[in-house]
């Protein structure tokens, strides 16, 4: 194994007691991507499952790819359609790639730099969680966002939402959504309105890049067919428009067991039921917006499949996952209907439930503790 020997030689100065030992996590992060290490079990079970965090996170990335690639295509498609230029499939893909790949590079670059720095500083290995976050961030941003804003949002999310709480596994809020929320609240004039959702919309006159929820909130009608909304040929954040390709990702997550189907189903049930009730009420355009369409438009599908299921920021108990999922669905529709300033509810709904997830778990676990206490008391008082 020649390559292996070479790497071992290169890693020598980073070994225990060597000059650059402190930087070992940074080097290991690259090495373990090439090779699964030769570590063997030294206590506990002598055999271990084939799964590890890399495998899990890469599976999530695979699940994200269909939506991502469609998002790249749709970016170009929206641009060419709205500006009335003739185009081919490859033109659209190329246009999208030129817009989006720099965002991906910035997101990974800034985020991983911070992650590596903290791994070296804290002396632990680099966790793979950011591989997913780093791809999610550009996927949920508006396409015309400047790169520096992406970088700043990522830095805020990783530093404040993740590392400040102790790093991977400790964060309360989903980091990718935090980045999105930061951009939204820090640059509201930029992030709302109808100019950022289509590529070049702010530079080219005549492009109206309104999102469906945006136009509904403004009291206008929807000008897209159900089919377009389902496939995703509509303006919106880069990769959340296509319910179809999000569902493909959901299938991958559920089939592999990596994503929680309980949260997904719970979310859909919660949102559908709430939207259905509002349909019956029907006091404004968003209330009477068909409940099925509510599930299809905006970021709901993407959020519930890829963001709400983040195992760290979601509820962790089985029962808690149901409650959490259902509440995300309910709050998403509530925010959409009652908050005209921000018609997309799923981001805030998930962040809100992220905050409450530990409380949900607390009560579920407390139920278990109470059952045990009750059993103890029953055994102390002999049956008469």
Partner 1 sequence: MSADITLRKGLAIPLEGDANQTITLSKSTNIFTLYPDDFHGVVPKMIVKEGEPVSLGQPVFFSKKFPEIQFVSPVSGTLSKIIRGAKRRILAIEFESDGKDKSVQHNVAALDELSADEVKSHILLSGCWPFIKQRPYDIVANPNTTPKAIFISGFNTAPLAADVAFVLGNQQKDFQYGIHVLAKLAPKVHLSVAADDTSFLSSVNGVEIHRVKGIHPAGNVGVQIHHIDPVNAGETVWVVCPEDVASIGRFFSTGAFDPSRTVAVVGPVVHQPSYFKTRIGAAVSPLLEAAGVKAATQVRIINGDVLSGVATHADGSLGFYNNTLSVLAEGNRYRMFGWLPFVGSKIFSMSRTSLSWLLPKRKYALDTNMNGEERALVVTGEMEQVFPMDIYPMQLLKECMVQNIEKMEGLGIYEVAPEDFALVDYASTSKIEAQAIIREALDVMIKEVG
Closest CA to 236 of 285, 192, 198: 198
| Contact residues for partner 1, defined by CB under 8 A | 1, 3-4, 28, 32-41, 43-56, 58-59, 62, 125, 127-129, 167-170, 255-258, 260, 311-312, 314, 316-318, 321, 361, 365, 368-369, 371-373, 375-376, 379
Q: How far is the CB of 341 from partner 1 (least distance, A)?
A: 34
Closer residue to partner 1, CB minimum distance, 170 or 204: 170
Q: How far apart are CA 105 and CA 159, in angstroms?
A: 18
Closer residue to partner 1, CB minimum distance, 32 or 194: 32
Q: What residues have CB less than 8 Å from 200, skipping those under 6 apart?
A: 79, 83, 144, 207
Handedness of CA 166, 131, 330, 212 (dihedral sign): positive
User: What is the DSSP code (8-state) at residue 291?
Assistant: H
Q: How far is the CB of 128 from partner 1 (least distance, A)?
A: 7
Within 13 Å and on the Cβ side, how many CA atoms surround 5?
2
Q: With beta carbons less than 8 A apart as the criterion, state whether 65 and 306 touch.
A: no
Q: How far is the CB of 316 from partner 1 (least distance, A)?
A: 4
Closer residue to partner 1, CB minimum distance, 17 or 44: 44
Closer residue to partner 1, CB minimum distance, 56 or 241: 56
Burial profile 322-338: b = 16 or more Cβ within 10 angstroms, e = fewer: bbbbbbbbbbbbbbbbe
Q: How far is the CB of 108 from partner 1 (least distance, A)?
A: 18
Q: How far is the CB of 177 from partner 1 (least distance, A)?
A: 17
Q: Tell me if residue 8 falls in helix, strand or coil.
A: helix
The H or E element that residue 198 is part of is: none
Q: How far is the CB of 295 from partner 1 (least distance, A)?
A: 25
Closer residue to partner 1, CB minimum distance, 130 or 245: 130
Closer residue to partner 1, CB minimum distance, 44 or 206: 44
């Amino acid at each position: 194994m020649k390559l292996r020997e070479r790497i071992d030689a290169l890693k020598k100065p980073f070994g225990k007691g060597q000059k650059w030992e402190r930087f070992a996590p940074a080097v290991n992060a690259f090495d373990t991507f090439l090779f699964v290490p030769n570590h063997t079990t030294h206590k506990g079970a002598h055999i271990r499952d084939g799964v590890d965090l890399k495998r899990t996170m890469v599976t999530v990335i695979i699940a994200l790819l269909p939506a991502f690639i469609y998002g790249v295509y749709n970016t170009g498609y929206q641009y060419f359609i709205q500006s009335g230029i003739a185009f081919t499939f490859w033109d659209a893909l190329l246009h999208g790639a030129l817009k989006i790949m720099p965002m991906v590079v910035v997101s990974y670059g800034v985020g991983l730099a911070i992650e590596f720095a903290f791994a070296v500083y804290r002396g632990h290995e680099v966790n793979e969680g950011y591989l997913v976050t780093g791809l999610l961030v550009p996927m949920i941003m508006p396409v015309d966002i400047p790169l520096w804003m992406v970088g700043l949002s990522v830095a805020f999310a990783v530093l404040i939402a993740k590392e400040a709480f102790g790093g991977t596994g400790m964060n309360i809020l989903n980091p990718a959504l935090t980045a999105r929320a930061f951009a939204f609240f820090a640059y509201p004039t930029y992030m709302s309105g109808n100019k950022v959702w289509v590529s070049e919309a702010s530079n080219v006159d005549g492009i109206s890049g309104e999102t469906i929820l945006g136009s509904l909130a403004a009291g206008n009608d929807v000008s897209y067919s159900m089919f377009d909304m389902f496939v995703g040929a509509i303006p919106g954040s880069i990769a959340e428009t296509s319910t179809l390709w999000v569902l493909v990702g959901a299938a991958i997550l559920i089939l592999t067991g990596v994503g929680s189907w309980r949260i997904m189903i719970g979310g859909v049930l919660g949102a559908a039921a709430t939207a259905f009730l509002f349909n019956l009420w029907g006091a404004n355009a968003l209330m009477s917006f068909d409940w099925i369409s509510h599930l299809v438009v905006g970021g709901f599908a993407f959020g519930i499949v890829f963001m709400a299921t983040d195992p760290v920021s979601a509820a962790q108990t089985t029962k808690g996952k149901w409650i959490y999922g259902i509440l995300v669905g309910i709050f998403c529709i509530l925010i959409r209907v009652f908050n005209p300033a921000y018609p997309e509810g799923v981001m805030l709904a998930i962040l809100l439930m992220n905050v409450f997830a530990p409380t949900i778990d607390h009560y579920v676990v407390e139920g278990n503790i109470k059952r045990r206490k009750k059993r103890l008391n029953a055994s102390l008082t002999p049956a008469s």
